[in-house]
Amino acid sequence: MLNKIVTCRDGFSFSCQASHTNYCSPRVSNASYYTEVEIGFPSDVEPLIMEYCEDPEDPTGTVYGYVPSDLVRHLIDKHGGISSGEVPKGVPVYGNTHYNRRLDDEDRSA
């Protein structure tokens, strides 16, 4: 199940995912905590994450693999905080309030 697109207070948006099919660590689905996550398709070029860009020729149309979870927090802070959306567990501050609770509920019912 995909996390909802993260939209920051200044309008910057991006996908933030972590599962066995994403470039993340650990590379498993439904981990209790991720130290690195995959960012995808940011709405604008963002210098803070360019070193992780899979296709520098198309920075808004590609993914960014193994981005440290702490850096995602800095990215969100740089853009005014999170307005809506979800991040994987492990992204500091936001991981407790904006993670995909549906996955957490499924873990408890299993």
24 SS3 class? coil
For the chain, how many structural domains are there in total? 1
Range of weakest confidence among 5-14, 22-31, 89-98: 89-98
In a domain, 1, yes or no: no
Contact by Cβ (8 Å): 43, 11: yes
Structural domain that includes position 17: 6-109
Q: What is the pTM of this model?
A: 0.84
In a domain, 93, yes or no: yes
What is the rounded CA–CA span in Å between residue 36 and residue 65? Answer: 8
Q: Is the pLDDT of residue 14 over 80?
A: yes
**pLDDT tens sequence across 59-108:** 999 999 999 999 999 999 999 999 999 998 888 754 444 555 554 544 44
Q: Tell me, what's the pLDDT at 1?
A: 74
In a domain, 90, yes or no: yes
Sorted by sequence, the CB contacts under 8 Å of residue 99 that are 6+ apart come out as 3, 86, 87, 88, 89, 91
Contact by Cβ (8 Å): 82, 94: yes
